[in-house]
Amino acid sequence: MLKTLGKIGLLVPALAVGAVWLVVLRLENVPVPLLAAYGLLSAGAMAGLLWPGALGPPSTRRRVLTFLGVPAVLGTLGLYLAVVYHVTDLPVLLALAAAGCLTWAAASLLRGRRPAGGRGARQSRRAFLAAGAGLALGVLSGLSAGQVERRRREALARAERERQAAVRAPGARRRIIDGAVRVFPIHTGDTVVTYGQFYGGLAGWEGLNGYLRTLVDKTQIVVPVYAYLIDHPRHGLLLVDAGVSWEQAHDHDAYYDMTPRLLTERDEYRMTLGQDLRVSLARLGYDAGEITTVFLTHVHEDHAGGLRHLPRATVVLDRRDWEHGVLYPYSFAPVEDDLSFPAFDSGAFGAFPASQDHFGDGSVILLPTPGHSPGHMCVLLRLESGSVLFMGDTLYTLPHLAVDQVRQMTVGGADTVRQIEAARRIQHLLASEPGTVPLFAHDNTRYQSDLVASVFARGAPGEAGLRELRGHMETVLTPGWRLRPGHTPHFVAPSSGTGPGKVDFR
Q: Which of residues 256 and 395 earns the better pLDDT score?
A: 395
What is the spatial distance between Cα 490 and Cα 493, in angstroms, rounded to a whole number?
A: 10
Indicate the burial class of 491 (C-beta count within 10 angstroms; 0-12, 13-18, 19 or more).
middle
User: If we measure between CA atoms, which residue out of 345, 339, 387, 338 comes closest to residue 364?
Assistant: 387
Closest CA to 309 of 342, 280, 268: 280
Query: pLDDT above 90 covers what percent of the chain?
Result: 61
Mean pLDDT of all residues in 380-400: 97
d(CA 355, CA 345): 6
pLDDT at 362: 97
pLDDT score for 469: 98
12 alpha carbon, distance to own chain's centre:
31
> 60-70 burial, b for 16+ CB within 10 Å, e for fewer?
eeeebbebbbe
Triad 81, 41, 80: Cα angle to 5°: 10
**Closest to 62 measured CA to CA, from 48, 41, 76, 42:** 48
Number of other CB atoms surrounding residue 255 within 10 Å: 22
Q: Give pLDDT, residue 370.
A: 97
Q: Please compute the mean of the pLDDT values over residues 111-120 and round it to a whole number.
A: 57
Mean pLDDT of 43-71: 78
Would you mind telling me the total number of residues written for the chain in this entry?
506
pLDDT in tens, 117-163: 555 666 677 788 888 888 999 999 999 988 988 988 898 899 999 99
230, exposed or middle or buried, with CB in 10 Å at 0-12, 13-18, 19+? buried
Nearest to 55 by CA among 38, 68, 40, 37: 68
Distance CA 418, CA 398 (A): 19
Task: List CB contacts of 330: < 8 A, sequence separation 6 or more.
Answer: 255, 256
Given pLDDT bands bounded at 50, 70 and 90, which one contains residue 179? confident
Task: Dump pLDDT digits (tens) for 271-302.
Answer: 999 999 999 999 999 999 999 999 999 999 99
Task: Tell me what pLDDT residue 488 has.
Answer: 96
Does residue 68 carry a pLDDT above 90? no
Q: What is the CA radius of gyration of the chain?
A: 28
What's the mean pLDDT when you consider all of the chain? 90
Check pLDDT > 90 for residue 84: no
Confidence of residue 443 (pLDDT cuts 50, 70, 90): very high
pLDDT band of 107, cuts 50, 70, 90: confident
The more confidently predicted of residues 212 and 484 is 484
Relative to beta strand 339-340, strand 314-316 is parallel
Q: Which of 329, 338, 394, 334 is nearest to 366 (CA)?
A: 394
Helices (H), 57-89: 61-64, 70-79
d(CA 382, CA 28): 44
Contacts of 503 (CB under 8 A, 6+ apart): 195, 199, 221, 444, 489, 490, 491, 492
Residue pair 228/296 in contact by the 8 Å Cβ criterion: no
> 119 or 181: which carries more pLDDT confidence?
181
Structural contact between residues 276 and 355, judged by C-beta atoms closer than 8 angstroms: no
What are the beta bridge partners of residue 368?
A: 377
CB-side neighbour CA atoms (13 Å) of 219: 14
Q: Is the pLDDT of residue 202 over 70?
A: yes
Which CA distances in Å does 253 have to 79, 301, 307, 350? Answer: 17, 14, 19, 45
| Phi, psi values for residue 232, rounded to 5° | -110, 125
Domain ranges for the chain, please list them.
Answer: 1-85, 88-168, 169-505
CATH topology of domain 169-505: Metallo-beta-lactamase; Chain A (3.60.15)
Kindly state the average pLDDT of the residues 361-371.
98
